[in-house]
Amino acid sequence: MRNVAWKWGGGSVAILIALVVFIVPFLFIVFTAGKTQAEASFLEFTWPTEWVLFENIATVLQNRDWLLVRAFVNSTVLTVGAVSIMVVLGAMVGYVLQRRKSRWNPLVNALVLAGLIIPPAVVPTIWVLQGLGLFKTLVGLIAVHVAFGLSFCILLFRAFVATIPRELDEAAVIDGAGPVKLFFRVIFPLLRSVIVTVIVVQAVFVFSDFTYALYFLPGDDNATVQLTTFNYISQSASSFNLLFADVLLITIPPLIMYIFFQRQIVAGMTSGAVKG
Amino acid sequence: MTTATATGRTATGRQATPPPTPAKRKPMKTPYPTWFFIPAGVFYVVLFLIPTVASFYFSLTRWTLFDVEFIGFDNFIRFFQEPQLVTGFINTFIYAFVTSGSKVVLGLLFGVLLSSQIIGRGFLRATIFFPVLVSTIGVGILFKVLMDPFGGPINETLAAIGIQGPGWLTDPSIALLSVALVDIWKGVGLATLIYIAGMVAIPQEYFEAAKVDGAGAWSNFRHITLPLLRPATITVVLLSLIGGLRSFDLIWAMTGGGPGFTSDVLASVIYKQYQAGFFGLSTAGNVVLFVVVAAIIFPLSWWLNRKGDEQ
């Protein structure tokens, strides 16, 4: 009896609270993005009297010589580039680290943990990038994301490689596969499920990153989407409708990722919860 | 400058050594070559290890990217003398502990709630988790508007039920806590999911056995759920503390460290000094942050994990 009351009563209350606390703010973004400039300036949580959402989105996209469109291109290149490098290199390290007990393992493990915990030293990183001629370039930002994101990838890959039987490696070696062929033709394809997890989690992270772009890729010429939104605030303090149309646009890619890859995202982000 | 390049070289030289010389290896070729470490190692060493090591040197200098002058510990002395920098230092701890503590408590609460048999469980899980994925800047902009003291929807709503809402982001005494509140709103979904994953891993037999022994809901929670959720708790504490201590973008989007410098944290001080051209001072801030994070996280994770082994 008590369980039924809890199931329905508790559930309804929880849903109600979730609606107010989590859904209403997102509806506020949509409603404000759909209003005219005059109506949006009241900052009210109301249904727009006149829906101009698509006009607003068009304006935001065209503003300042298609800045946002270029930013989307930049962010896409950044995300795809950084995540693909991370996945391949991280899988290589995680694989050898798990398979082979060498005296370098403690050092590599310590470095991986350090990479997860220690905050990057920003200005010296800029100094290094400048020395390499990569400061304020997309390539430089990709390299930075790879360097900072590798640790997380390595941890996930190392844990997953442990579930692949060694007999497979041995069979491939007997069949004459070299180390490179063994890894890329036999092991890498078997990592598919964890690769999807790593790709999705890191893609969301890289796409949503603001701090590193602010430091290592400043300026409007090759801004990423997160940066354009921030620049938007000062430029159009009064046009909240356009600001929120912009926020809405940069929220959509992670939303799509979440709808399609909910299971992988959850698996990736909660990994370590059980084993500690 | 010469010293600066020298630091860089030694660090690069160290990176070149890790792969052992093939001559020493056994004649049989291993299918797990150590050189697989090298491509990743290059990125890591050049863009993470070298800057981290170099930061210790640069924190002792007056530095513009063209000119380095060694000034000893002046930057650190300045760091702990100027009130605005000290505020940033203290705020870092407040922010990290408030957000981390709240995420543990609320995450545990929601995790247990969303593991029980209630309607709309899938919807609730998805809803609470979604803010984790939304861009921090987007959330910052959204709540800056919602928390506006003049006509912002939150205060309008409070006014409608007769409560005078505070100046969330404009009142110096609560600006930092308001940002922390939004951080909790955004991050509690991750903590919840980690706890749910931990709940799933608890074998049902324990609860059945407890039922036979006549245990109630509370003692179930106190003596089965809570101890067995320990790994999840450790994960949440460490993740949220690391994130909280380093937190920058939400604060930057919502208050920019203001009003005045009352909601500055180390990460925003680092950015402000960098912007102002004080690279040495900015790097000193980075070293302080490094020390703070290391001094909290390493002993804490050692202590938490050791206590787990004893049981």
| CATH code, domain with A259 | 1.10.3720.10
* A124 pLDDT above the threshold of 70: yes
CA distance A252 to chain B (A): 9
A144: left (phi over 0), alpha (psi -120 to 50) or beta: alpha
Which of B30, B130, B197 lies nearest to residue A258, judging by beta carbons? B130
Residue A164: inside a domain, yes or no?
yes
Q: Quick check: is A110 in a domain?
A: yes
Instruction: Count Cα atoms within 13 angstroms, Cβ side, for B155.
Output: 18
Q: Which of A74-88, B17-31, B230-244 has the lowest mean pLDDT?
A: B17-31
By Cβ distance, the residue of B39, B113, B298 closest to A92 is B39
pLDDT above 90 for B107: yes
Contacts of A194 by beta carbon, 8 Å cutoff, 6+ apart: A156, A157, A160
Give the residue, A65 or A179, on which the prediction is more confident.
A179
Q: Is residue A77 part of a domain?
A: yes
Kindly state whether A44 is in contact with chain B, defined as any CB-CB distance less than 8 angstroms.
yes
**What is the per-residue pLDDT for A237?**
60
Q: Do A124 and B58 touch (CB under 8 A)?
A: yes
- Model pLDDT, residue A2: 61
For position A273, what pLDDT does the model report?
52
Q: How confident is the model at residue A223 (pLDDT cuts 50, 70, 90)?
A: confident
pLDDT of residue A90: 95
Site from B24, B133, B281 to mutate, A interface, most A CB atoms within 10 angstroms: B133
pLDDT greater than 70 at residue B47: yes
* Surface of A (69-108) touching B: CB under 8 A: 85, 89-90, 92-93, 95-97, 99-100, 102, 104, 107-108
Residue, of B25 and A205, whose pLDDT is higher: A205
- Residue A4 scores a pLDDT above 90: no
Residue B15 has pLDDT above 50, yes or no: no
A163 to chain B, closest Cα gap in Å = 17
What are the two backbone dihedrals, phi and then psi, of residue B44, each rounded to the nearest 5 degrees? -65, -50
What are the pLDDT digits (tens) for B278-288?
899 999 999 99
Identify the closest residue of chain B to A30 by CA–CA distance: B142
Count the domains in chain A.
1
- Give residues with Cβ within 8 angstroms of B290, minimum separation 6: A118, A119, A121, B52, B55
Q: Is B73 exposed, middle or buried (0-12, 13-18, 19+ CB in 10 A)?
A: exposed
CB spacing of A115 vs B44 below 8 angstroms: yes
Helices (H) and strands (E) in chain A, counts: 15, 0
ipTM score above 0.95 = no
Q: What is the pLDDT of residue A251?
A: 87
Flag whether A249 is in a domain.
yes
Portion of chain A with pLDDT greater than 90, in percent: 38
pLDDT in tens, A157-192: 998 899 899 999 999 999 988 889 999 999 999 998
Residue A266 has pLDDT above 90, yes or no: no
Q: Calculate mean pLDDT across residues B82-109.
A: 93
Range of the domain at A167: 67-270
Check pLDDT > 70 for residue B8.
no
Tens-digit pLDDT profile for residues A127-163: 999 999 999 899 999 999 999 999 999 998 998 899 8
> How high is the pLDDT of residue B6?
39
CA B221/CA A249 separation, integer angstroms = 43
- In a domain, residue A3? The reply is no
User: Considering only alpha carbons, which residue of chain B is nearest residue A233?
Assistant: B141
Q: Are A126 and B195 an interchain contact pair (Cβ–Cβ within 8 Å)?
A: no
pLDDT on residue B308: 55
Residue A226 lies in a domain: yes
Distance, in angstroms, between B224 CA and closest chain A CA? 15
User: Quick one: pLDDT at residue B43?
Assistant: 95
Hey, are the CB atoms on A95 and B282 less than 8 Å from each other? no
Amino acid B65: pLDDT: 67
- Percent share of chain B, pLDDT over 70: 89
Higher pLDDT, B289 or A37: B289
Cβ <8 Å between B242 and A116:
yes
Q: How far apart are CA B9 and CA B13, in angstroms?
A: 6
A86 lies in a domain?
yes
Average pLDDT of chain B? 85
Which of A18, A92, A276 shows the shortest C-beta gap to B128? Answer: A18
Residue A62 lies inside a defined structural domain of this protein: no
pLDDT of residue B26: 47
pLDDT at B300 over 80: yes
